[in-house]
Amino acid sequence: AGWTASIWVIIFLAELTFAVGQLTPSLRAKPALHRVTPWWCVTCLCQVLWAVFTMLEYFVMASACTVAVLVCLLRLAWGPSVDGGCLEYCLLRVPFSLHAGWMAAIMVVDASTLAAAKGAGPETLMAMAIGSLAALFVIAAAFAIAAPRPEPLGCLAIAWAAAGIAAALQDDYGHYAKSKQHP
């Protein structure tokens, strides 16, 4: 569903807060920031490449970039230990956890997009969409249980995506059911 893309506003505002926070002397002196910066730079590069490949409809390359972004974001969300309280958590974990959850959702949607580009039929695409929801629930469980520190914000982004996928499936199923009724 189109409304799900509005999460980008929250993600980018959180990442802007991180970027501006890096300019402050107190955060710039934190060792955690020095561990985060290289991963953040690679994430940004892969995100730009993902956007370009998606626009050009190079779906295999876009999917590879999605996986690369997700790996970098998981490293950012699960990697650095945040010992500086709420402010440090908001600057060093919130943006990356939200973005990682959202990129996990994009990864499963990219698989369906790739299948559609390769000519998969409606039944296959519907099965992939349902499988995507199952995959998202597994990934959300990983955020909640398997991560070094439970990360609820990744789960929140995945729940947002799952709601959008469910809404889109409901619309798609309605169109599919109508096409089967009227030969």
Reduce the secondary structure of 103-132 to three states and give it as a string: HHHHHHHHHHHHHHHCCCCHHHHHHHHHHH
Please tell me the distance from the alpha carbon of residue 108 to that of residue 32, in angstroms, as a whole number.
30
**Per-residue confidence (pLDDT) for residue 22, from 0 to 100:** 84
Name the helix (H) or strand (E) containing 25.
Answer: helix 25-28
| Residue 105 near residue 161 (C-beta atoms within 8 A) | yes
Which pLDDT band, with edges at 50, 70 and 90, does 34 fall under? Answer: confident
Which pLDDT band, with edges at 50, 70 and 90, does 102 fall under? Answer: very high
Over the stretch 74-96, which tens digit does the pLDDT of each residue have? 888 877 666 667 777 788 888 99
Joined together, the tokens standing for residue 150 give: 């439970």
Secondary structure letter of residue 79 according to DSSP: S
**Per-residue confidence (pLDDT) for residue 110, from 0 to 100:** 82
Residue 27 has pLDDT above 90, yes or no: no
**Per-residue confidence (pLDDT) for residue 1, from 0 to 100:** 65
Which pLDDT band, with edges at 50, 70 and 90, does 24 fall under? Answer: confident
Which pLDDT band, with edges at 50, 70 and 90, does 179 fall under? Answer: low
Which pLDDT band, with edges at 50, 70 and 90, does 42 fall under? Answer: very high
Measured CA to CA in angstroms, residue 91 lies from 1, 50, 85, 87 at distances of 29, 24, 10, 6
Residue 11 has pLDDT above 80, yes or no: yes
